Amino acid sequence: MSVTEIVSSEPATGAELWRGAISDVDAEVARARESWAQWAAQPLANRTEALRRFANVVRSRHEQFADTIARETGKPLWEARTEVDTVVAKVDISIKAYADRTPQRRLEGQAGVRMALRHKPHGVLAVLGPYNFPAHLPNGHIVPALLAGNAVVFKPSEKTPASGALLVECFHAAGIPEGCVRLVIGGPAEGKALAGHDGIDGLLFTGSARTGIALNRQFAERPEKILALEMGGNNPIVAWETPDLHSTAVLIVQSAFTTAGQRCTAARRLIVDDAKCQPLLDELVKLTGRIIVGEPHAEPAPFMGCVIDNEAADQLTESFVTLMSHGGRPLRHMERPVDDRPFLTPGLIDVTDVAERPDIELFGPVLQIIRVPDFEAAIAEANNTRYGLSASLLSQNPKLYDQFWANARAGIVNWNRPTNGASSAAPFGGIGWSGNHRPSAYYAADYCAYPVVSSEVDQTRASIGIGLRDS
């Protein structure tokens, strides 16, 4: 029996939140194709004004939007509100980035010849969004794409369709033509159909490395289509020469456990000095034990909520047990405090003695601790991954940071700051299995339009001075 609709339930309670019919991918792409040229032909000022209206619509629906995100993802309401703030802020940042990254320019040409640089939209761009930031992350693709003159066909994660539907509703309420922002509701089959559709001119993706690599293979024979991949990370945070143990522990907790560890920039591996780490680990265990885990609207407000569903929680607890069975030593066990609901308490596990540590992204509140003998070994361990998204050094020694920055293989390298919380006013992306060298955020303008160089004169004047017989 075929599935005809998607039902979204609140992970924290199990209550049904939203349901919607499975979309016709062909029809949605066709509608976008019919609409994009007229949108692209509008002056940039018109598109800019429309997107500013969108920001105002989101601002007017702030609490409704935050409540929907919180209920659908299980994240605390305070964090969902922050996500809505970033959706609003993205518009002004994108306008500035578009002017900075894709301006019209006059270039030096030969005598009497003008050289011009302008940018054109690709056409119809598909956007595949993730569940952890169901509004902010797809919005980070959609706003720059629309600003450049593209139409967008957006498929939210099947785990967070209500948030995606509300985002599209806000675009339409702002007066952006309905044909220019289309919504595809569905599961993996619809995502695959959209990604492989002949009617799209490119795909902007945020999600797992496994899916991103499959998309990279799929697009290998389609060089005419733009592909921008934002994938995950097995991110290291190195603590070295840190006398303020409490502040160091706070930064580690923020890196590893914000959003229940469901951030692509979350710290997965804590690398410490074997000879001096015990006081820091004691402080970290104590602080982790104070973390409140609860449902989105609980009082007092929780630091973190649940993970996205029971399947994810089961996989994470199984991974924790697997690390233990291979020599990992738990400093704080991961537990399931609520039966049949995907709440997890943060887990800390020392994996120094695990012979072959798996280079995978454990997408949840699990932090692996690795003890090393010296700082060179710490850098080597930080780079011991196929990923390369985010890395952070916690240290009072600026020389160590110089060494760390020069040698860390990551697109984001921080000093005495968490691995996560990247700014939309800067480029965002990684290397290795973390992306395909198309950073997003401030640099999203780069993949939403392509440069066109023109050599221009007012009249047709030409002659051939050599190689012709006399007339």
Q: What is the pLDDT of residues 239-253, one digit of tens each?
A: 999 999 999 999 999
CATH no. of 5-231+435-456 = 3.40.605.10
pLDDT-based confidence at residue 459 (cuts at 50, 70, 90): confident
**pLDDT per residue as tens digits for the range 264-285:** 999 999 999 999 999 999 999 9
What is the average pLDDT score of the chain? Answer: 96
Asked whether residue 25 carries a pLDDT value surpassing 60, the answer given is yes
Q: Left (φ > 0), alpha (ψ -120 to 50) or beta: where does 327 sit?
A: left
- Average pLDDT, integer, range 24-36: 98
Asked whether residue 178 carries a pLDDT value surpassing 70, the answer given is yes
Mode of pairing for the β-strands spanning 235-239 and 390-394: parallel
Asked whether residue 2 carries a pLDDT value surpassing 70, the answer given is no
Alpha-helical regions (H) of 152-277: 161-173, 188-195, 209-218, 245-257
- The residue extents of the domains of the chain are 5-231+435-456, 235-415
Cα–Cα distance for residue pair 188/198, rounded to 1 Å: 18
Q: Which contiguous run of DSSP H or E holds residue 112?
A: none
235-415: CATH homologous superfamily?
Aldehyde Dehydrogenase; Chain A, domain 2 (3.40.309.10)
**pLDDT per residue as tens digits for the range 190-239:** 999 999 999 999 999 999 999 999 999 999 999 999 999 999 999 999 99
Q: What is the pLDDT of residue 76?
A: 98
What is the torsional sign of CA 285, 289, 291, 293? positive
**pLDDT per residue as tens digits for the range 271-327:** 999 999 999 999 999 999 999 999 999 999 999 999 999 999 999 999 999 999 999
Cα–Cα distance for residue pair 125/112, rounded to 1 Å: 38
| Residue 348 identity (one-letter amino acid) | L
Asked whether residue 185 carries a pLDDT value surpassing 90, the answer given is yes
Q: What is the chain's length?
A: 471
Q: What phi, psi does 175 have (nearest 5°)?
A: 90, 5
Asked whether residue 109 carries a pLDDT value surpassing 80, the answer given is no
Among 181, 189, 79, 200, CA closest to 138: 181
pLDDT-based confidence at residue 113 (cuts at 50, 70, 90): confident
- This prediction's pTM: 0.96
Neighbours of 220 (CB within 10 A): 9
Q: Is 135 helix (H, G, I), strand (E, B) or coil?
A: coil
Cα–Cα distance for residue pair 343/336, rounded to 1 Å: 6
- Average pLDDT, integer, range 322-339: 97
Asked whether residue 385 carries a pLDDT value surpassing 60, the answer given is yes
- Average pLDDT, integer, range 460-469: 91
Cα–Cα distance for residue pair 139/40, rounded to 1 Å: 19
Q: What is the pLDDT of residue 438?
A: 95
Q: What phi, psi does 419 have (nearest 5°)?
A: -75, -20
Q: State CA 153 to chain mean position distance.
A: 18
- Average pLDDT, integer, range 373-381: 98
End-to-end CA distance of the chain: 80
Map tokens 């985002």 to a residue. Answer: 167
Asked whether residue 1 carries a pLDDT value surpassing 70, the answer given is no
Considering the chain, what percentage of its residues have pLDDT values greater than 90? 94
- Average pLDDT, integer, range 130-157: 98
Neighbours of 333 (CB within 10 A): 14
Map tokens 């024979």 to a residue. Answer: 221
- Average pLDDT, integer, range 177-184: 98
Map tokens 């399931």 to a residue. Answer: 336
**pLDDT per residue as tens digits for the range 63-85:** 999 999 999 999 999 999 999 99
Map tokens 């308490």 to a residue. Answer: 345
Among 77, 12, 69, CA closest to 301: 77
- Average pLDDT, integer, range 358-370: 97
DSSP character at residue 36: H
Active-site positions read 230, 264
DSSP character at residue 471: -
**pLDDT per residue as tens digits for the range 396-414:** 999 999 999 999 999 999 9
Q: What is the pLDDT of residue 468?
A: 94
Peptide bond into 300 cis (omega under 30): yes
- Average pLDDT, integer, range 130-148: 98
Q: Is 453 helix (H, G, I), strand (E, B) or coil?
A: strand
Neighbours of 76 (CB within 10 A): 25
Cα–Cα distances (Å) from 268 to 62, 244, 397, in that order, read 32, 22, 23
